[in-house]
Structure 1
């Protein structure tokens, strides 16, 4: 069966949320469904011309930028139903880069179709604003995280992923963190050794279980209490 905006499992988390059936059908005519990408494949690079907004259907991606010293900084970890590319709307070029963390598929709303379809469907414009606001909210949380002690940053990272997975109908107890330990350190502004040591301590206390990039949360209340300290 072909996956469309109507039967996509992430409709409630993606752009069609709040649209009528007729409006969703209009959107389906212009949404482009792309082939599957693999780990390491690039969705777009900083400086690329704006091709459109990208909605992840399956898999995970990281959003990054490079500073003046060519050091990569991870800005966001994207899950199914989340949208990339809002930063390109103002200057018609992507300011960040996006890369698949595992096997990934996505849909695209072409740049040239955004204004016409928003004119036809005003509700879609409001949904785009909602997603852009969510992106700002995630960045705000990130700014708060990196000011906390290391153990609170890791607890917050795990709890945030858990809640976002649950909102998409996945398990909030057992899930992939998506990033390597080094990448988690980059994302949370922590040394690799600190990330590894803190996660191992969480595991020894019985709060979590680790297997590669996968984590199983046994004691969510303990992580929540840790995060609430200070």
Structure 2
């Protein structure tokens, strides 16, 4: 798809340095634009895709936030990741051409899609694109490994890590990193960090009373970043 007027394309998108065009030449980006599809705007609670659904393409978040979830055999929802603009989702479906998780919009969201039927052809045409997809998959695995390690840490460290990580990722994308939406409810935070709802609420209030953060519904304002960072190195 070529740029027309003020249309946002791979060539002029502000997230090109962290999305699929990362590392591609200008000519390769133009070739990628010919197959990437810009999708309609979704709203909070809308699905980008559902677990068990046939693979239809790789999704790149363009604006807004989403959560990646799966349900266990008891129907309980587990949140695997919070997705921000420029991040890819759906790579795990490439092996069996079926989505193994569900992706749900956390607020108003727009996205681009690299159609599944075009992936083999475009990767043959642009070998560097395949390498870029592998890099994204590797990054996702690394993030999951770090999350698994933090599951064994105290609740305060898990929440501090989540807040600081989200802050850093937002800043990388040019957004404010000191005041932002957490995206998740307290219940969802508990699911993501493997904590009870009461523990999440109590710990966030402790941060607020200490003067480290200020809470407003799902939004947080970081008042003392160093205190949160120091907490991560604490041995308690």
Q: State the TM-score bracket (shorter-chain normalisation).
A: over 0.9
Cα deviation digits, residues 131-185 of structure 1 (max 9, x gap) = 1011111111110121100000000010110111111111111111000000000
Match of 1:159 among 164, 171, 175: 164
SS at match of 1:55: strand
Match of 2:211 among 206, 212, 227: 206
Cα deviation digits, residues 102-136 of structure 1 (max 9, x gap) = 00000000001111111111111111011101111
Query: Aligned Cα RMSD in Å?
Result: 0.6
Cα deviation digits, residues 20-47 of structure 1 (max 9, x gap) = 1110000000000000000000111110
Q: Give unpaired runs (5+ residues) of structure 1.
A: none
1:190 maps to what in 2? 195
Match of 2:37 among 29, 32, 37: 32
Which shifted more, 56-65 or 133-142?
Answer: 133-142
Q: Output aligned runs, 1:50-199, within 5 Å.
A: 50-199=55-204
2:3 maps to what in 1? none
Instruction: Give the drift of 1:77.
Output: 0.5
> How many residues are treated as equivalent by the alignment?
230
TM-score normalised per structure 2: 0.96
Instruction: Give the drift of 1:58.
Output: 0.3
Cα deviation digits, residues 37-60 of structure 1 (max 9, x gap) = 000001111100000100000000
CA distance in 2, matches of 1:176, 1:142: 20
2:223 maps to what in 1? 218
Instruction: Give the drift of 1:91.
Output: 0.2
SS at match of 1:2: coil
Q: Give unpaired runs (5+ residues) of structure 2.
A: 1-5
Q: Does 1:10 align with 2:15?
A: yes
